[in-house]
Structure 1
Amino acid sequence: MVSDDSANLTCVIIGCMVKDYEGLKKQAIRLRKEGLSYGEISKDSGIPKSTLSYWLKNIPLERHQKERFYTKQIQYLSLGAQSQKERRKREIEEIINLAAEEISLPITPDAYRLIGAALYWAEGSKGGMLEMTNSDPHLILFFVRWTEIIFNIPAINLKARLNIYPQQNESEVKKFWSELTDIPVKNFGKTYVKPFSSGYKKNNLYYGTMRIEVPKSTNMKHKVFGWLKAVLSENEMKVKLVQRKWQKLAGTSRPINL
């Protein structure tokens, strides 16, 4: 049998709980009418969002309050996208740094020679003399040093040409590439300036496009492709077989300007 004291205590506890419940609900309603979101009310009062949704579903909002919620949602989405972008950027940097640690330096002479040959295969001129055209300072400097180490041709004997936009300072761009490569400014030929266009993509690291020319180097170019032939020889048979099978593709016409 429950004593009178226990019953009274139970009533007091239940009464307090009901009172506290009603107080929290009134507080939530007041905050909602002030224009706070469920998240803001939950953070302020500790009431779960699910409870707030049930309590406040019939509380009307003013137009400016709805606009405020919409603006904040856009901001949160933007911050979330930016956060994901930054996280992915860090992941990529980590991948690159770990991969760099896999390479043993200094590179062996044979590896260095073949790296340069592969870069030339991808980016170099296939006709005439040895020529490399690119806008990446790292690649251009590598080619200049590679030419000196592999073919014993110093930078002072190389020729160069620039390809720039009208708004760029030709003299300053020449000085940049000359300082980077040690090719004298007097070795630079006539600069090609692209026709003016109203649409330009801003790039604070753009130094124009640099073309390196190695004089009297036709035989050197053939030598480079000989090194590549040796590396690719194990694939040569399959390439020829597939090309022969699909010979009909070779007769496909293409636009003259390609």
Structure 2
Amino acid sequence: MDNDLKNKAIKLRKSGKTFSEINKILKVDISKSTMSYWFKGIIFSKKQKERIEKIVMNNVKKGQIAALKVNRLRILEYLDSIDKRAQHLSSLMNNKDVAKVSLAMLYLGEGSKKQKG
């Protein structure tokens, strides 16, 4: 990396900028590990720490909201696939013999849970 780029990045970090802000300002993509190495001795003022913590917390909230949406979508897709795979079973329940066998299996399954040993 260019020494001038490193010095600019260090100056920005000392002013309290985040890693992503530094990359945007310098219009480069410096890896986090490189920046962490460059900035390891920098100490922030209380105001700078609070600003960075606020930005991090906002980003965490955004990430949580995005993850929640994705997880909801996955769950809905999963439940939909189960529903599609089990549609043929509803017609089987109209058959009394199949219904009796199903109930017997449920009864036996519950009974085995209560037995000791």
* TM-score when normalising by structure 2: 0.65
Unpaired segments ≥5 residues, structure 1: 1-19, 115-227, 247-258
Which residue in 2 is equivalent to 1:32?
A: 13
Larger Rg: 1
**Higher relative contact order by CA 8 Å / sep ≥ 6: 1 or 2?**
2
How far did residue 64 of structure 1 move? 1.1
* Local SS of the residue matching 1:57: coil
On the 8 A contact 1:32/1:56 being kept in 2, the answer is yes
Report sequence identity in percent: 27
* Local SS of the residue matching 1:79: helix
How far did residue 49 of structure 1 move? 2.6
Whichever residue aligns with residue 23 of structure 1, its letter is D
CA deviation string 1:201-242 (max 9, x = no partner): xxxxxxxxxxxxxxxxxxxxxxxxxxx777534666787798
Q: Which has the higher strand share?
A: 1
Whichever residue aligns with residue 103 of structure 2, its letter is L
* TM-score when normalising by structure 1: 0.34
Whichever residue aligns with residue 39 of structure 1, its letter is S
Please state if 1:232 is matched with 2:99.
no
Taking a change above 3 Å as real, the CA distance of residues 23 and 104 of structure 1, as seen in their structure-2 partners, is: same
Q: Which has the higher helix share?
A: 2
Which residue in 1 is equivalent to 2:63?
A: 80
Please state if 1:111 is matched with 2:93.
yes
Which residue in 2 is equivalent to 1:55?
A: 38
Whichever residue aligns with residue 70 of structure 1, its letter is E
On the 8 A contact 1:33/1:59 being kept in 2, the answer is yes
RMSD: 3.6
Unpaired segments ≥5 residues, structure 2: none
Whichever residue aligns with residue 25 of structure 2, its letter is D
Partners of 2:40 and 2:68 lie apart in 1 by: 35
* Equivalent residues, number: 111
